[in-house]
Structure 1
Amino acid sequence: MKLTRPAEQEPVDLEKVDLVDPAVHGEGDPHAIWHAMREREPVHWQQVDERLGYWSATTYDDVARVLKDHRVFTSEHGTLLNLLGKKDPASRKQLPATDPPRHTKMRSPVQRALNSKVLERHRPQIHDEVKRLLDGVPDGEAFDFAEVVGALPMAVTGTLMGLDRDDWPQLTYLTSQAIAPDDPEFIMPEGGEATLQRAHRELFAAFEQSMSRRKGEGDGDLIDVLRTMEMDDGRKLRPSEIVSNCYSLLLGANVTTPHVPNAAMGELAKDDKYADWAAHPELFDSGINEALRWSSPASHFLRYAKTDVELSGVTIRQGEPVAAWIGSANRDSSVFPDPYEFDIRRDPRNHLAFGVGPHYCVGHAVARIALHELFQELLDQFSGFEPTGEPQHLHSNFIAGMKHLPLVATRRTEGRARV
């Protein structure tokens, strides 16, 4: 999705916008649409066809409430707009599609396996993977930054899940197809739905093969955690449920980790912002938080009202879907002054890039460590970056991402001071 700044233009006609259309997010101006909604209709109804429609929540407070209040807004009827009007096959089987208390029971062992203390043991390995990727960046020559960092999440999560390294490139491509099946670069001749289904089949098959090779308790990686965990009724997860949650974990990692640095570097490469950040190592953590706010890689999550509820003065009826637009919430000027400025001094710790409430991203610690190691190594190895062309954005209403970001890097000739 394009990370635009709303420009002076003709007023947006909210009756004609179509935020379901992936092309609007890849080639259009979704931030202009969200800005208009926040100003005029913060809770807006879009009729998709004769049968289907949904509400858009666009302000920070409304988005946070929809994501947080599982007693009023359920995740079990579909969490993405591509499931609008369909039964979610992952309902009550996959972490994102399950409400508390069942969700809490499922989440606990995964959260323990992904807590920051446990992951610190893997930091040296993550650092080595980051360094290996960046060591191949040419000095003074054009390269595709998005292609380089696109390999990072699989290197991290593939290791944590115990997936075969030889499979990482194909799994990376398949997850890209799954999050952007309508993108011209990934869509098959049979269309977006066929692309999504094929990506799902091949990803699920890869997880099934990984499970079939395991014996006993295994080595304690994430797939073994899922194999041995117990549900609230005392039973263990079925193979199909394990596969579904493997898919969710891998998708979450491949969604967040590459698109945050892509979006940030698109801004840092302009107007000496990169040099400013490099010269102020005390702003390192605030810069990463700003990168998360700025990128908001997961554009939306869908919820359904469990009862009649009022949101910003609008009554949402029981059973109606609500899209919580995270990318819009993180540009709400009532919470983030001058929201269309990328400012490393902002330190927006209250951003919603990882969500909020019970479904706060279970892999947030993994993502933070990977981002920390990546940005630290970038600042250590390179004195500057310059854009050499226009970035290409994913056609996806779910992921705000860049698939190509052409840059020229200049390597440092001497070290950089750290805090």
Structure 2
Amino acid sequence: MRLTHPTGDEAIDLDGIDLVDPVLHAEGDPHAVWHTLRAQDPVHWQQLRPDLGFWSATAYDDVARVLRDHTAFTSEHGTLLNLLGRKDPAGGRQLPATDPPRHTRMRSPIQRVLNGRAVEGHRRVIRDEVRRLFATVVDGEPFDFAELTGQLPMAVIGTLMGLDRDDWAHLTFVTTQAVAPDDPEFVRPEGARATLHGAHRELFACLQDAIARRPGGTGDLIDVLSTMDMEGEEPLSAGEIVSNCYSLLLGANVTTPHVPNAALVELTATGTYADWAGRPELLSGGIEEALRWSSPTSHFIRYATHDVRLGKVTVRAGEAVAAWIGSANRDASVFPDPYTFDVRRDAKRHLAFGVGPHFCLGHALVTVTLEEFFQELFAQFEDFAPAGEPAHLHSNFIAGIKYLPLVARRRP
């Protein structure tokens, strides 16, 4: 089972660490590994084969620098471990894989649709979707909390993108395949690589079809991507529109649900659900802590544009650095007593949304969604109890829970 409370006494062989292995992230304890690395080797080299390896940045300051400094660490050569050794076809075409200044020109029009004021106008829609999901929970009977939360982000981003409701369930499944191709539940008979490629093909085909059969002038996110002014550049091509739709969809579907999932695991284990539920003034701060605690996106990759000093090592030009967000958010130098889930903590410095030019484009949407979710959760349910063991995704990219059996007790 994946643990979150390393003691510091674990005997870990640094030469034997394999942070690529999805089994470590699902069934082992990556937090124990990161804990050891922060203490002993905060910028650690892992050799994958004779011609391929990467650095792991695990301390808060190093992770923040790698993510923030696009002049020293580019995102255009690939942003995920599963692309190591291969060119990223999305480089320079998709927001997460594009550096400023083009990134800024692409981001600004979308940001206007997803800023705090714009998102506030969607709060009622989000609340209605949350209530629709909670209406399916039967008092006193076991249910899968993770299955419920897994439906939430698609209901929100699908609405904002103008995607047909009939497609939501399939798009949710395929996006999960794309981030967890090694997971026994999602892997295809041909193997993980084929699963990843197949999921990408399905997602792109679904999005191309959705774009082709929808009217223009709707003002939704797809319309914004299709008509955005690139300040002297050619408009986004059809492929770039689809690629960025995929990025928005992926960002929503594979991160948002895992924040309440991770929080409920801890709240039920420690018996602290009622404490948070009974203190509405702690809602916002508690959500920031839940983001720190869950850190749904485990890592992003950057490549050194030139020889650069990071911590006590020199990263050579062209070498890859994995910025481990889950590790940075447990750095005791920034978050005292980091292995305690404390809704009274000031956790605003967490890196769950990233930092720098690639700070999460949908952070306002995620925040409002989580506010509505937890408000309704606390209003409708008095408590939850475990009904089985949670199961984690086999993924080195998403720190996700795919099964979370609970029993709910509704308020009178």
TM-score range, shorter chain: over 0.9
Corresponding residue for residue 163 of structure 1: 163
Residue of structure 2 equivalent to 1:228: 227
Residue number in structure 1 paired with 2:81: 81
Give matches, 1:246-395, under 5 Å. 246-395=245-394
Structure 1 runs (4+) greater than 3 angstroms displaced: 7-10
The aligned length equals 412
- Conserved? CA contact 1:177–1:199, under 8 Å: yes
Q: TM-score, normalised by structure 1?
A: 0.97
Q: Does 1:12 align with 2:12?
A: yes
Q: Does the 8 Å CA contact 2:10/2:32 hold for their aligned counterparts? A: no
Q: Does 1:175 align with 2:178?
A: no
- Residues 375-416 of structure 1, C-alpha deviation per residue, up to 9 Å, x if partnerless? 000000001011121100000000000000011110001xxx
Give 1:213 deviation, angstroms.
1.5
CA deviations over 1:168-202 (Å, ceiling 9, x no partner): 00001001101101101100010011111111111
1:279, CA displacement in angstroms?
1.8
CA shift at 1:51, angstroms? 1.2
How far did 1:81 drift?
0.3
C-alpha distance in 2, partners of 1:190/1:233?
45
User: Is the CA contact 1:2–1:401 (under 8 Å) kept in the aligned structure 2?
Assistant: no
- SS of equivalent residue, structure 1 residue 374: helix
3-state SS of paired residue (1:46): strand
Secondary structure of 2:385 counterpart? strand
Secondary structure in 2 aligned to 1:56? strand
Instruction: Please tell me whether the aligned partners of residues 153 and 258 of structure 1 are also in contact (alpha carbons under 8 angstroms).
Output: yes
Structure 1 residue 111 displacement after superposition: 0.3
SS in 1 for 2:56: strand
SS in 2 for 1:257: coil
* Corresponding residue of 2:409: 410
Distance in 2 (CA, whole Å) between partners of 1:131 and 1:329 is: 34
Q: Distance in 1 between matches of 2:356 and 2:28?
A: 31
Counterpart check, 1:41 vs 2:41: yes
Structure 2 unaligned residues grouped into runs of 5+: none
1:48 counterpart SS class: strand
Corresponding letter in the other structure for 2:136? G
Residue type of the alignment partner of 2:196: L
User: For the residues of structure 2 that align with 1:246 and 1:181, how far apart are their CA atoms?
Assistant: 20
Q: TM-score, normalised by structure 2?
A: 0.98
1:186 maps to 186
Q: Structure 1: how far apart are the matches of 2:8 and 2:78?
A: 36
Structure 2 distance, partners of 1:109, 1:128, is 27
Distance in 1 of aligned mates of 2:317 and 2:405 = 47
Tell me, in whole angstroms, the C-alpha distance in 2 between the residues paired with 1:171 and 1:15: 39
Conserved 8 A contact 1:3-1:295: no
Distance 1:290 1:3, change over 3 A: farther
Q: Distance in 1 between matches of 2:210 and 2:277?
A: 42
Q: C-alpha deviations, 1:254-288, integer Å up to 9, x for none? A: 12210100000101112321011012111111110
CA distance in 2, matches of 1:272, 1:34: 27
Structure 1, residues 223-273: CA drift from partner, whole Å, max 9, x if none?
111000133542110000001000000000012210100000101112321
Q: How far apart are the structure 1 equivalents of 2:312 and 2:83?
A: 27
Q: Distance in 1 between matches of 2:107 and 2:147?
A: 32
Secondary structure (helix, strand or coil) at the match of 2:309 reads strand
Structure 2 distance, partners of 1:15, 1:234, is 48
Please report how far the alpha carbon of residue 3 of structure 1 lies from its aligned counterpart in structure 2 after TM superposition.
4.7
Q: Distance in 2 between matches of 1:298 and 1:218?
A: 34
Query: 2:269 and 2:36 mapped to 1: Cα distance?
Result: 27
Q: Which runs of 5+ in 1 are unaligned?
A: 414-419
Q: Which residue of 2 aligns with 1:416?
A: none
8 Å contact from structure 2 (residues 8, 35) kept in 1: no
Indicate the residue corresponding to 1:151 in structure 2: 151
Letter in 1 for 2:333: S
Deviation, structure 1 residue 27: 0.8
8 Å CA contact 1:2, 1:400 repeated in 2: no
Displacement after TM superposition at 1:2 (Å) = 3.1
CA distance in 2, matches of 1:254, 1:371: 13
| 1:8 Cα offset (Å) | 6.1
1:192-207 to 2 correspondence within 5 Å? 192-207=192-207
* CA-atom RMSD in angstroms: 1.1
Counterpart CA distance in 2 for 1:391 and 1:9 is: 25
